[in-house]
Structure 1
Amino acid sequence: MNLNLRQLRLLEATCRLGRLTEAADEQAISQSAASQAIRELERTLGYSLFHRVGRNLEPSDATQRILPRVREILSLVDTLEDPCGDQVRGDFHVAASVTIGCYLLPHLLAAFCRRHPQVEPRVTIGNSEAVIELLEKGRARLGIIEGPAGHTALEVHSWRKDTLSVFCAADHPLAGSGRIERKDLGQQRWIVREPGSGTRSVFDAAMRAARITPTIAFSLPRQEAIKQSVLAGLGVGCLSALSIADEVAAGQFVELATPLQLERELSWLVPPGRRRDTTLNAFLSLLE
C-alpha cells in the first residue's frame, strides 16, 4: 500500500476543518493538489473518504473508523521531533464545559504554566456536547466535562465529584424554610441550563428518578443569565455549587434542600493515541 504522510495530514486536517480549501491552506498546498491527493488516497484505500454536505465535507463511515488510527500515526511521527520525549512545550488546547471552564480550569492552567512556562495554553468553553464535538474533530487535545460521559471513540476517565445546588433569591417565599418538599418540586418555575449541557443532563436525570415532570420556565446557555433570572424572582435555579458560592456567601441566594440526587462526576476525555503526548500527560498528572 503506497501511502504518504502528506496524504494522511491532509485527510486529518479536512476531517477537522470540514473544508478542503482550509485544509489545503493549513498544509500549504494548492486546492488542486489537495483534491488530487485525496483522490489518490481514495484509489489506494479503495473507498470514498468524504461526502459533500453543502459547502462542507463530511467524513464517510469508513473515514470515521480509520480516523483515530490516522491521528495516532501522525502523533507518533510528531514525537520524532523530540526523541527524548520529555519536552513540555508549545500549543495546548483544552476544551471545557462551562462550570469547569469558569471555576476550575483557570487555577489549573495557572499552576500548569508556572511549572511549564514554554506551554502556550488555549481554552474553548462550551457545553458538554460541544466539547465532545471538538475532540471528535481533533480540534482540542483534552476535554473536561460535567455530567455522565460515554463515548465509543474517545477515552473517558472520571476525575472528581461535583454537586448541583438548587437555589432561590433571598426574598423568595422558599428562602425562609430553606427546602423544597418532593410534592412541591413539580410546582416550581425552574431556570436551568440548555439541553446538551452536563448540568442539564444531571438535573433531568434527577427529576426522572424522582418521577417529577418539572416546569421549565427558562432554559438558558449561560450561568450568569440563570443567576440574574433567579435574582429577579423569575423562579428557582439549579447550578453547580461552585458557581453560586460567592452569591450564597453574600446573602443573595439561599441553597434549598431537596430530595433530588444531584451529585455528578466530572470527567476528562482524550482522543485515542493522544496518551503519548508529553504535554498532555504533564497536565493529566496535575489533574490527578
Structure 2
Amino acid sequence: MNLAQLRAFHAVANHPTFSAAAQALGVSQSAITQHVKSLEDAVGTRLFLRAASGVELTADALDLLPKVRQAILMLDDISARMSDGRALATGHLAIGLCAPYVAMPILQRFTAEHPGVQLDVRLENSSSLLELVAQHRVDIAIATLREPHPDFACDFVVAQRVEILVHAGHPWWNREQVEAHELPGQRLVTREAGSMTRHLFEAALAEHDLELPPHLTLGSREAVKEAVAAGIGIGIVLDQERGFDPRLKAIAISDVDIVAGEYLVTRRETRSLGSVAAFLAIAGEVARGKATNGHA
C-alpha cells in the first residue's frame, strides 16, 4: 500500500467515473485503474462497483474513505512541515460552496499561495454540503448556517442578511425597504427546499404568522435572479450574494431581521492537517480583513 494508491482511491471515491478521477489527479485512467486494483489486492476486498450511474462505493470503501483521507492529509502535513515555510508543494482539496461571492476571495488567495494544490470545487445548497462533509466527500464546506453545527468544526466568516429581490418594473423598485405584512400576495421565486436562504425566509415569516408559498422553484441562485429579472416574481437573496445586476434591486425587510452566518465547516479530526489547515488560515485572514474594512 502506498500514497499513489491512496490518492487514486480517494479520487475515484469523489468522482463519478475512473476517467474523471484520472483527470482530477492529472494522470492516465490506466494508472488509476492499476492503483485501485493494487489497493484492493492489498486490503483483500472489492472497493468499487461499476453501475450505469457511475462508480459506487462498497461498504468496505465507505469505511475506508475517512481513514484514507486523514492519512493523505497527515502525509501532506508532514511534507509541508519538513519544507521551508511549511509550503504545500502538492495536494488535493475538495471544497463545497453555496456562496461563490463569499468564497472567491479566499480561493484567489489560496491558489496564489499554494499553486501546487489542486482544488475540486462543487456548488450545492447548505443542507447538501453538510451531508458531503459528513460523508467525507468534501474536506471543507463554506455553508450558510443560523448557528454553528454541533457535529462539525465551524469557523465564522461573515454575516449574511436575507433581502427581497425585485425587477425594474416592480412597484417596489424605488423603495429601500418593505414590511413583512406586504409580502403575502406577491409571487415568490425561490430555491429548492434544501436552500438555507429559503429556510431562513420561511421561518421568519412563520414567526409573524405569515406565509408566502413559492410561485416558482428553481435549482440555482442564478436561475432565481434571471426569473426575477424577467418579471416572474420577487426573489430572496443573501446580501453578500446579490451581485451587481442593474436589472435587479435588493430591498430590506424593515421589521424582520433574517440573519445567518457563512461558516467554514470541517471535520474536527482533519482541520489541523495539510491543505485543510492552510485553507482555514487564509480564510481567517480574509475574514479579518473584511471585518477591518467594515464589510462583515
User: TM exceeds 0.5?
Assistant: yes
**Hey, what's the Cα distance between the residues in 1 that align with 2:11 and 2:94?**
18
Select 1:260's aligned residue among 240, 250, 256.
256
**Hey, what's the Cα distance between the residues in 2 that align with 1:23 and 1:176?**
50
Match of 1:142 in 2: 140
Partner of 2:82: helix, strand, or coil? Answer: coil
Partner of 1:238: helix, strand, or coil? Answer: strand
Match of 2:31 in 1: 28
Deviations 1:25-68 (A, max 9, x none): 7683656x85575376357xxxx9678866532342x7545532
Match of 1:196 in 2: 194
Q: Taking every aligned residue pair, what percent have the same amino acid on both sides? A: 19
Instruction: Tell me how far 1:119 sits from its aligned partner.
Output: 4.2
TM-score normalised to structure 2 length: 0.70
Partner of 2:271: helix, strand, or coil? Answer: helix
Deviations 1:147-206 (A, max 9, x none): 346474x53333321112113234322345554443333322111222323322322332
Instruction: Tell me how far 1:264 sits from its aligned partner.
Output: 0.7
**Hey, what's the Cα distance between the residues in 1 that align with 2:71 and 2:271?**
13
Instruction: Report whether the alignment pairs 1:126 with 2:128.
Output: no
Q: Answer whether contact 2:161 2:238 (CA < 8 A) is retained.
A: yes
Instruction: Tell me how far 1:23 sits from its aligned partner.
Output: 7.2
**Hey, what's the Cα distance between the residues in 2 that align with 1:189 and 1:73?**
51
**Hey, what's the Cα distance between the residues in 2 that align with 1:88 and 1:78?**
7
**Hey, what's the Cα distance between the residues in 2 that align with 1:260 and 1:65?**
45
Q: How many residues align?
A: 273
User: Is the radius of gyration larger for structure 1 or structure 2?
Assistant: 1
- Aligned residue type for 1:124: V
**Hey, what's the Cα distance between the residues in 2 that align with 1:9 and 1:121?**
12
**Hey, what's the Cα distance between the residues in 1 that align with 2:281 and 2:89?**
15
**Hey, what's the Cα distance between the residues in 1 that align with 2:106 and 2:36?**
40
Matches for 1:269-288 after TM superposition, within 5 Å: 269-288=265-284
Q: 5+ residue gaps in structure 2?
A: 23-27, 285-296
Q: Answer whether contact 2:165 2:248 (CA < 8 A) is retained.
A: no
Match of 1:38 in 2: 40
Q: CA RMSD for the aligned pairs?
A: 3.9
Q: Answer whether contact 1:147 1:201 (CA < 8 A) is retained.
A: no
Q: 5+ residue gaps in structure 1?
A: none
Match of 1:97 in 2: 97
Distance 1:57 1:269, change over 3 A: same
Matches for 1:111-260 after TM superposition, within 5 Å: 111-114=109-112, 116=113, 118-120=115-117, 122=119, 124-128=121-125, 129-132=127-130, 134-136=132-134, 138=136, 140-148=138-146, 150=149, 152=151, 154-175=152-173, 178-244=176-242, 246-247=244-245, 252-253=248-249, 255-260=251-256
